[in-house]
Amino acid sequence: MDRRLAARPQRPARQRIVNRKLHRVLSLDDFERAARQHLPKPIFGYIAGAVENGTTLRENRSVFDEIGFIPRNVTDVSQRSTALSLFGHEYSAPFGIAPMGISALSAYRGDLVQAGAARAANVPMMMSGSSLIRMEEIAERCPETWFQAYLPGEPARISALISRVADSGFKTLVVTVDSQILANREHNIRAGFSTPLRPSLSLLWEGVTHPRWLIGTALRTLLRHGMPHFENNYAQRGAPILARNVARDFGGRDHLTWSHVHQVRQQWRGRLIIKGVMCAEDALLARDNGADGIVVSNHGGRQLDSTVSPLRVLPGIVAAVNGAMPVMIDSGFRRGTDVLKALALGAAFVFIGRPFNYAAAIAGEAGVRHAIDLLSSEVHRNMGMLGLNRLCDISPEKLMAIGPLPLPPGTRSIA
């Protein structure tokens, strides 16, 4: 054997398999295509699906096609950087990982995988309140993680949950305010998904016909950690993820008002973010009730169908807030160009959800790191072609609405 080959360190077989998978992934959309094959239909359907006709889901993507760039060329961009400061911390990229419920069902230890990759890449990550790993474990391993909560319906339960989040060591609390009403997610029923999942022959068949997921995620989790439960919706442990006769406690939340957000602000001593703001009036109420920042979001098209894209309302909200707090955004972002368009319209930061869930399902933490690298590389490359060295220099002047071509005066029309 060639001595050079013998001396070369051999990568573990699992690492070689992961590298082969990621070699074929060139964009965030590639992760979705791979996850569709890897995951059982109910789980993929839960992640990918929206509500009713999916109008908002499509709107979240199509809005980006209505905006074009005006590049600046022959400009020295050799010193460009994708770094961006938020709340006094300089992150390595202008985007982070949005909260996604039940991530540990699609990827082994999914929340930890995402948090670990975010920490390694120096980008923020929001842990979902509908997660299957205890918040205390995430905070201990990745203390810079943000925690996203759905407020319970009673003040006493709100207080107990906020106390638990604080005791766990989180410094940033994200309160989602667009989920008081349970959405009409018909796609979950069609895909065979429920919370908790109900044992059935069709569910068993989905597991058997997706052996890599069955062995690498489901059985591995059961053997090492037992049956997953909804761990963080409330101060106490919730329902198991798989049960025939147990119902998940969603609680009544349709009576919640800004007074409950004020209650949280009075109790919570850390940074408070309000997520799910879609109009200037609510942005100002968030400010007046002590929020340190907001996330403009339509929940990724998973709540009210026919809601407009957050990108459409972003400029008005930024103008209304007038620099009083950072205005962040999520829903529908997939490309570096998408991120830059939001920054140009005034967003302080962008958060992205589903693609990182798919990346974790396909290749664990390595997959999430690869997804972060892909998107960061797109932002870096596109900055150069726009003539930018710093993200804080991007402005609406770099954008143009794409519509009917404006013709100069005196141009003849074609009859």
Q: Are strands 67-69 and 399-401 parallel, antiparallel or unpaired?
A: antiparallel
Beta strands in 200-345 (DSSP E): 271-277, 293-296, 327-330
Q: Which of 210, 260, 299, 370 is catalytic?
A: 299
Radius of gyration of the chain (CA): 22
Q: Is 299 a catalytic residue?
A: yes
Q: How far apart are CA 273 and CA 293, in angstroms?
A: 5
Closest-CA residue to 94 (of 373, 391, 362): 391
Helix (H) or strand (E) holding 41: helix 41-48
Q: How far apart are CA 124 and CA 103, in angstroms?
A: 17
Q: Which residues contact 192 (CB under 8 A, 6 or more apart)?
A: 41, 42, 45, 200, 202, 203, 206
Closest-CA residue to 289 (of 325, 254, 317): 325
- Give me the residue label for tokens 């602000």: 265
Closest-CA residue to 93 (of 291, 293, 305, 374): 374
The answer to whether 147 touches 165, Cβ cutoff 8 Å, is yes
Read off the amino acid at residue 196. Answer: P
Q: How far apart are CA 261 and CA 176, in angstroms?
A: 10
Beta strands in 220-307 (DSSP E): 271-277, 293-296
Closest-CA residue to 118 (of 402, 351, 395): 351
Would the CA dihedral through 276, 278, 280, 281 be positive or negative? negative
**DSSP structure string for 79-130:** T----EEETTEEESSSEEEPP-TTHHHHSTTHHHHHHHHHHHHT--BEEPTT
Rounded to the nearest 5°, which phi and psi values hold at 123? -130, 155
Catalytic site residues? 299
